[in-house]
Amino acid sequence: MRRRVLEALSKRGILIEPDAADLLCRQPDAMQLVENFIYRPEGGPPMIIALGDLESVLKQQVMTTIPDLNLMTKARIRPEGANKVIIRKDITGNSTSVGDITNFTKLFQDRFKTIKRMLLRRRELQGSISIPKARKSAEREVKIIGMVKDTRITKNGHRMMEIEDEEDVVHVLVLKSARAFSDVIVNDEIIGIVGKPAKNGEMIVADEIIRPDIPIGGGMRKNDSDAWAVFAGDIHMGSNTFLANQWNDFIGWLKTSEEARDVKYLIMPGDLVDGIGIYPDQEDELLIEDVFKQYETLAEQLKGVRDDISIIAAPGNHDAVRLAEPQPALPDNIRKFFDSNVTMVGNPSQIEIEGRSVLIYHGRSFDDWIQAVPGLTYGKPLEVMRDMLRRRHLAPIYGEKTAIAPEEKDYMVIDEVPDIFVTGHVHHAGMGDYRGVIMINSSTWQSQTSFQKMHGQVPDPCKAFMIHLGTGKARVLDFA
């Protein structure tokens, strides 16, 4: 092992200090670590690896160490039924918005604080100051962080924004000739601005707009998991447009197919059923008019899924929980229909499976994003998801279609960068990658509804995405 490791490094012209070499060779995944050093995204490989460098890489690693024995024998590492779903972030049981509290102050303060912290880590925003200080500043360049309260185009075609921080509000002008002009701004997002004070501190002329964004060079590192996760959203059980045959094919595949043998997780990001009273005259489009019966039917079918598959189900805007986001998990009187391998989580929620962090969000805010931002469309949900990741927020636009609950903490902030980000709602199927985050929009099991026809929305149903949790390998299955 030592020889292989040293050879691999020296081939690339990398030296390693003896104590670092000792520690490296004691790692069962030493060769993988060598790869990580070679392909280190930040500025290429180091010339000399010191003990401290290696220790910090080991600390960052998502993988747990694999016993040598398993590597040699290729024995299956995960014992049967070892699935563990760790819930990292979920409103369920943590709601503070009880009764008729309609005060959003704390929510917005929390959002501001959390995203400001992320922005302050950006090199471009080192030395940020408050708006009052920026107004009085004699410097040529100032840096501020604030929430967008308003944005409009002036009669000369420039963009004028109102930016607010904890102390003050200021006008920020983005000239149409500035590079930042093409960057879309949505209301209530939190941004950093680098610019020049003007008009005696009444205004700042922006040179650059900075977003919290996803750090470059992240992404899933290999781990020892053998398991696949499958994603299936927007089932809409009970609707007369529910695609029963295709769904049954999918469940049948999951039960018996050789390809599905190592599937250990089924993740369902909302709209499990069609619900009742979701839109006017919905009864006319329902096959099952009792919402409990809808869940019971779904639960019955999921009982056919192998016991060694953990099912994680979140609600959407058609499900039987409060509509305001974050939505808690489905309550016990519905949960009770399902087997014990089903974990109900909130919307959004962040879970960990096999060392992978998965952010699950149904996606009601797609409607607001698409309406607010020219160029975003229902047909390209991955572009919207990328915009959510760049702003580290699932639903920044307040007061439109997405109902938001006045919680004290903003659960819609993406504070932890996920390995996998899955959404639904728009009934499209897409998989992509943004700076190492795997993005999935998980299709639907409902054909075009009359509502969608009216709005010219064409669904892309009956696709199931699969991700190998050890390697990040992806597949798409088509049951259409």
By beta-carbon proximity to Fe ion, the closer residue of 279 and 292 is 279
Token pair in block for residue 161: 């924004």
> Residue 111: which of Fe ion, Zn ion, ligand D5M, none does it interact with, CB under 5 to 8 A by kind?
none
> Residue 361: which of Fe ion, ligand D5M, Zn ion, none does it interact with, CB under 5 to 8 A by kind?
none
Q: Which one among 192, 212, 233, 316 touches Zn ion, defined by CB under 5 A?
A: 316
| 328 and 89 Cβ atoms separated by less than 8 Å | no
Query: Phi and psi for 111 in degrees, rounded to 5?
Result: -60, -45
> Residue 426: which of ligand D5M, Fe ion, Zn ion, none does it interact with, CB under 5 to 8 A by kind?
ligand D5M
What's the closest the beta carbon of residue 453 comes to ligand D5M, in angstroms? 10
Binding mask 261-280 for Zn ion (x = CB under 5 A): ----------x---------
Which DSSP string do the residues of 2-30 spell out, in sequence order? HHHHHHHHHHTT-EE-HHHHHHHHHSTTH
> Residue 452: which of Fe ion, ligand D5M, Zn ion, none does it interact with, CB under 5 to 8 A by kind?
ligand D5M
**Residue 414 and residue 388: Cα distance in Å, rounded?**
8
**Residue 357 and residue 469: Cα distance in Å, rounded?**
10
By beta-carbon proximity to ligand D5M, the closer residue of 151 and 452 is 452
| 461 and 443 Cβ atoms separated by less than 8 Å | yes
Residue in 416, 321, 408 with CA at minimum distance from that of residue 364: 321
What's the closest the beta carbon of residue 367 comes to ligand D5M, in angstroms? 5
By beta-carbon proximity to Fe ion, the closer residue of 189 and 271 is 271
Which residues contact ligand D5M by CB under 6 A?
A: 234, 271, 317-318, 367, 378, 401, 425-427, 452, 455, 457
Q: Binders of Fe ion: how many residues, by CB under 5 A?
A: 2
By beta-carbon proximity to Zn ion, the closer residue of 27 and 317 is 317
**Residue 84 and residue 106: Cα distance in Å, rounded?**
34
Output b/e per residue, 301-313; b: 16+ Cβ within 10 A: bbeebeebbbbbb
What's the closest the beta carbon of residue 268 comes to ligand D5M, in angstroms? 13
Does residue 325 touch Fe ion according to CB under 5 A?
no
> Residue 378: which of Zn ion, Fe ion, ligand D5M, none does it interact with, CB under 5 to 8 A by kind?
ligand D5M
| 376 and 339 Cβ atoms separated by less than 8 Å | no
By beta-carbon proximity to ligand D5M, the closer residue of 363 and 396 is 363
**Residue 24 and residue 18: Cα distance in Å, rounded?**
10
Residue in 256, 303, 250 with CA at minimum distance from that of residue 466: 250
What's the closest the beta carbon of residue 444 comes to ligand D5M, in angstroms? 7
**Residues in a beta bridge with 196:** 205
Q: Which one among 143, 391, 393, 425 touches Zn ion, defined by CB under 5 A?
A: 425
**Residues in a beta bridge with 164:** 147, 169
SS3 content of the chain, % helix, strand, coil (to 5): 30, 25, 45
Query: Phi and psi for 74 in degrees, rounded to 5?
Result: 55, 25
What's the closest the beta carbon of residue 166 comes to Zn ion, in angstroms? 35
Does residue 461 touch Zn ion according to CB under 5 A?
no
Name the site residues for Zn ion (rule: CB under 5 A): 271, 316-317, 425
